[in-house]
Amino acid sequence: MDERVEIIDVLARYVRAIEDRDGDALAALFAPAGRFEVLSRRGKEEYVTHALEMVGHEALRAAMKTGELPPGHSMQYLTTDHIVDIAGDEARLRAQFLAVQAVGKSRPEDGWPSGAGLMQGTLTPIMIGHYDSHLRRIGGRWVFTRHQVKHSVPMTLPLKS
């Protein structure tokens, strides 16, 4: 597999770990002191940094334990327009993302009514933005040293002081 594909694969595994709320899988994608940061902005304004920042494997694992979704809810993260720049054992990956929340209806005890649509639930786009990731090849594999989630709309999370 070529380096560009390997680096994009790290992002694919990241979104799957987030979707599955798998803290071990998420932590494995980061360097031991890897940093995860959340930023947001309105329009073309400067990004502001939020207090949601995690450094290291234990912090990443803990975040997935507190982020459980209610029954019937799931998230899907779609990424596109991957730009990869590689310089030796260092790389930068930038990509766009869209997060969609899925809320499934409960199946009635007597089954779905005749004529019911194929999908029973709702899909709602809830986040859009860019990933800006710095990676390093450690032990023959690429891992995040810094992963920024740059939301394109303001967020209600507290700002970093």
The predicted structure's pLDDT at residue 119: 77
- Assign 130 a pLDDT band (cuts: 50, 70, 90): very high
The predicted structure's pLDDT at residue 33: 95
Q: What is the DSSP letter of 123?
A: E
Distance CA 92, CA 40 (A): 20
pLDDT one-digit tens code per residue, 65-97: 776 666 677 889 999 999 999 999 999 999 999
Q: What is the pTM of this model?
A: 0.87
Distance CA 142, CA 134 (A): 10
CATH number of 3-69+84-95+129-151: 3.10.450.50
The predicted structure's pLDDT at residue 81: 97
Domains of the chain: which residue ranges? 3-69+84-95+129-151
pLDDT, mean of residues 6-11: 97
The predicted structure's pLDDT at residue 68: 66
Distance CA 25, CA 147 (A): 15
